[in-house]
Amino acid sequence: MVETRFSKFLQKLGFSRAGHQYEPLERGELETLFDEQCELKAIEKDKTVVALPPKEASKCHREDLAKAFYVDLHNGLSESSVTQRRLVHGWNEFVADNTEPMWKKYLDQFKNPLILLLLASALVSILTKEYEDAISIAMAVLIVVTVAFIQEYRSEKSLEELTKLVPPECNCIREGKLQHLLARDLVPGDIVCLSIGDRIPADIRLTEVTDLLVDESSFTGEAEPCSKTDTPLTGEGDLTTLRNIVFMGTLVQCGKGQGVVIGTGERSQFGEVFKMMQAEETPKTPLQKNMDKLGKQLTLFSFCIIGIIMLTGWLQGKHLLSMFTIGVSLAVAAIPEGLPIVVMVTLVLGVLRMAKKQVIVKKLPIVETLGCCNVICSDKTGTLTANEMTVTQLVTSDGLHAEVSGVGYNGQGTVCLLPSKEVIKEFSNISVGKLVEAGCVANNAVIRKNTLMGQPTEGALIALAMKMHLSDIKESYVRKKELPFSSEQKWMAVKCSPKNEEEEDIYFMKGAFEEVIRYCTMYNNGGISLPLTPQQQSFCQQEEKKMGSLGLRVLALASGPELGKLTFLGLVGIIDPPRAGVKEAVQVLSESGVSVKMITGDALETALAIGRNIGLCNGKLKAMSGEEVETMEHTKLADHVGKVSVFFRTSPKHKLKIIKALQESGAIVAMTGDGVNDAVALKSADIGISMGQTGTDVSKEAANMILVDDDFSAIMNAVEEGKGIFHNIKNFVRFQLSTSISALSLITLSTMCNLPNPLNAMQILWINIIMDGPPAQSLGVEPVDKDTLRQPPRNVKDTILSRALILKILLSAAVIISGTLFIFWKEIPEDKASTPRTTTMTFTCFVFFDLFNALTCRSQTKLIFEIGFLRNHMFLYSVLGSILGQLAVIYIPPLQKIFQTENLGVLDLLLLTGLASSVFILSELLKLGEKFCSTAKKAQIHHQDV
């Protein structure tokens, strides 16, 4: 625009052949040229405007702020300035960096060693012309990979979800007019007007304030709204102390204000959280690590089989290529292609069971990770507590103490006198009644349908009145005047006149004890006003200190005919109390070896009060501040962090450092939270758990798990489920490997001893169906054992194939091989030729052994009579189906031809059943022996302790 006008000016310059001819400029054109030069300078200035850090902005005076951002505080920016600034700073939004294409994310799923091993076995099946095997393996791999991809794709939205936090609209002054804009349009230097109910659209330095209260709980973790000012601040402090700055995403709860935008998008404080989240990668779960290790172990096992068979063949003078083919085929058969599907099915069923318990799990392996979680770090506000201020204690001016039950903005709960536990309603006790009346009348909050409209502290006083059936007492008075609360005077008062009686006007006052007591000359004693003596004042002061030391926010209440002659009524203690069930959950988790730690932005006294209340470390609390966390070195912090149970005054950066330190010390960490200040820690923890109702969008998306009802105790169910899932996977692995080793060994031994094959191809296929089919799959859905939660968390270094499990697998395999070979040896004719009866008896014997083996694999430690025959319905149906299928194969003529079997007598079946049950009996006796040894060991330890 400037250039086109300037070119018109240049056109005024004419050139003739004789020489230069100049036209004189008109006055209007000179003014235009001057304006254009000013505009060019303004554009250059706009390009140099930078976002101002909150700590710097908080120290600036209004005039300095206007100079720094080249803005008129009354008229705002011009549209041209906004355009130039947007070129430098971009839109006020977050853009997640999704450079990795979808197809690459899908292909990344194939990096799992077990998946690669299965693909290799499918390739070998194609080379050996076993196309059915190749197709079944390929289908299994595709199902597993696709399910895993869909889960991860749905869960990786945490960065995109930050955009939801940016409010869609705001009020902004531009070119002297108040405009209603989209929040994404804001640039540094914009003048934004704020009013009650607004969500702050960017980081703003306040320049005008009227009774402005901002709810910063999602950012700082503080339950109490923060009172704001427009005066410059001196001195150093953290972000929570910057009272003239409001941060993006927080909520205006009361009053109004105006200010200059100092940071937008990624240059705001939430932008810092965004960048930290971009830098964080979700760690691999212990189950994923275990599956990787198992895949490598099975690969090694397969190569060992191929090597042994080739070496044996070479020593016997057989053709190496044919021996290699046999070895590879057996190795492929040994690989449990059903394992990834069983793991997936087990995890999916675990997720579905959790959904019924109001817990949403977004990443499948996370369910199992809870089984080895040994530290749970929890945010306080909104997680351990309900973020609803509640009166819990009363002390009247005449020395009566009362406790208040019930949590939240409702009338559920009672007020009981101590120590008699007498329940008080209305004015059944005049001193308590007058105290509650004053709190209800000197109040601007309203509770409708359990929803608070107004300040949390005032809401707590209304809820107290509701519990005493005094919430309508407010209607008995006509309010004439209000003296509003200010941070300087620290009290508020109302002047009222009673409606029904011709009495004189009365003042009701509430506020900080040291301020309210200055306006009092009397104190209430059972409904009678007595002079306030220094002794009485000292007693009230001691009570106030005692309540404050318990982490309570203490309010004093008074009433009287005029402000200088009030009657002191007493004190109320307010706190954001623990949620129902939290104390019990912490106790159960502690007993099962899970350490619970509280990380909060709140003050030390409040944090310790809640910590003691919920029974952290049995009340023996050790606390550490965010400042100490920041200054301590990583290695020192990793050593120290395990001993601390309460972290206070923490920022998102501190929370992340604590999580990392715990992980470095070898802990598997779960983090629970609900605010944006928790988002980075939720993502970096091994398990991120967000609240469903009070949680912000960002915290829900950064988390792996969401507690729908905000019920902390649901974590216990999740831990139980996690432990159960790992047990079920181990049961399946034990069954499948013992079966596959038996089948392999049977074929290998007969090949090496030049005996006929005890099983034909169709029979091996049928055994493979049982090995990977319904009986095996049903082990993955075994219901979680009730004693599971009492077991300590699983050590992450424990592999699925532990030494004990390998021994059990080999023992079961040895029994199956011995029994099957015995039947084969018994039934084989003298000429060593394979007959239908020989293969039928051997085949049926092996299948029966398989089913008895599956029965004992339902639990690693408990006897079948303890877990119950009928508990796992799917197992019963699959075993019954397998038995009927086996009988069909033996007795139905068309199937006899396919499987090369013949009819067996009743005595044959009884012999095979009796022999096959030996694997079950031996395994159960082994469990009994282990149980006896464990009991004896515990008794010995207990005896030594005594």
Question: What is the DSSP code string of 504-543?
Answer: --EEEEEE-HHHHGGGEEEEEETTEEEE--HHHHHHHHHH
What kind and span of H or E run contains 799? Answer: none
Q: What tokens does 637 get? A: 């912090």
Q: What tokens does 306 get? A: 């191929």
Structure confidence by residue, pLDDT tens digits, 664-690 = 988 889 998 877 777 788 888 888 888
**Judging by beta carbons within 10 Å of its beta carbon (0-12, 13-18, 19+), is residue 47 exposed, middle or buried?**
exposed
Q: Is the dihedral of CA 520, 525, 530, 536 positive or negative?
A: negative
What is the pLDDT, as a whole number, of residue 339? 66
> What is the spatial distance between Cα 415 and Cα 402, in angstroms, rounded to a whole number?
7
Q: Which regions of 600-743 does DSSP assign to beta strands (E)?
A: 623-625, 646-648, 669-673, 687-691, 705-707
Give me the phi and psi of 813, to 5 degrees please. Answer: -60, -40
Q: What is the mean pLDDT of the chain?
A: 80
What kind and span of H or E run contains 443? Answer: none
Q: State whether residue 482 is helix, strand or coil.
A: strand
Least confident range of 134-138, 177-181, 667-671, 932-936: 134-138
- Res 545 pLDDT > 70: yes
- Res 242 pLDDT > 70: yes
Neighbours of 552 (CB within 10 A): 22
- 537, 570 in Cβ contact below 8 A? no
User: Cα-atom radius of gyration of the chain, to the nearest Å?
Assistant: 38
> Could you tell me the CA-to-CA distances from 621 to 420, 595, 602, 618, 646 in Å, in that order?
31, 12, 16, 8, 7
Q: Is the dihedral of CA 116, 121, 124, 129 positive or negative?
A: negative
- Res 531 pLDDT > 60: yes
Structure confidence by residue, pLDDT tens digits, 496-505 = 998 877 778 8
Report which of 665, 663, 667 is spatially closest to residue 636, judged by C-alpha positions. Answer: 665
Q: Is 379 a catalytic residue?
A: yes
- 6, 36 in Cβ contact below 8 A? yes
> What is the spatial distance between Cα 771 and Cα 120, in angstroms, rounded to a whole number?
20
Interaxial angle between packed helices 836-856 and 803-827, expressed in degrees from 0 to 180 and rounded to the nearest 10: 160
- Overall average pLDDT of the 348-361 stretch: 77
- Res 161 pLDDT > 50: no
- Overall average pLDDT of the 651-670 stretch: 89
According to DSSP, residue 400 is labeled -
- Res 164 pLDDT > 70: no
- 114, 210 in Cβ contact below 8 A? no
- Overall average pLDDT of the 49-71 stretch: 87
**Judging by beta carbons within 10 Å of its beta carbon (0-12, 13-18, 19+), is residue 838 exposed, middle or buried?**
buried
Q: Is the dihedral of CA 793, 797, 803, 806 positive or negative?
A: positive
> What is the spatial distance between Cα 712 and Cα 690, in angstroms, rounded to a whole number?
10
Give me the phi and psi of 336, to 5 degrees please. Answer: -80, 90
Mean pLDDT comparison of 230-239, 280-289, 622-631, 929-938, highest-scoring range:
622-631
Which residues make Cβ contacts (< 8 Å) with residue 72, sequence separation at least 6?
A: 66
What kind and span of H or E run contains 154? Answer: helix 131-155
Q: Is the pTM of this model over 0.75?
A: no
Residue that is written with structure tokens 């059972």 in the block = 526
> What is the spatial distance between Cα 177 and Cα 74, in angstroms, rounded to a whole number?
9
> Phi-psi category of 527—alpha, beta or left, where left has phi over 0 and alpha has psi -120 to 50?
left
Q: Read off the pLDDT band of 19 (50, 70, 90).
A: very low
Mean pLDDT comparison of 225-229, 537-541, 730-734, highest-scoring range:
537-541
What is the pLDDT, as a whole number, of residue 117? 64
> What is the spatial distance between Cα 331 and Cα 267, in angstroms, rounded to a whole number?
57
Amino acid found at 365: P
Report which of 810, 806, 814, 790 is spatially closest to residue 730, judged by C-alpha positions. Answer: 806
Three-state DSSP string of 317-352: CCCHHHHHHHHHHHHHHHCCCCHHHHHHHHHHHHHH
Taken as a whole, the chain contains a residue count of 946
Q: Read off the pLDDT band of 915 (50, 70, 90).
A: very high
Least confident range of 339-343, 880-884, 916-920: 339-343
CA-based diameter of the chain, in Å? Answer: 132
- Residue in 46, 185, 379, 772 annotated catalytic: 379
**Residues 592-625 as b or e (16 or more Cβ within 10 Å = b):** bebbbbbbbbbeeebbbbbbbbbbbbeeeeebbb
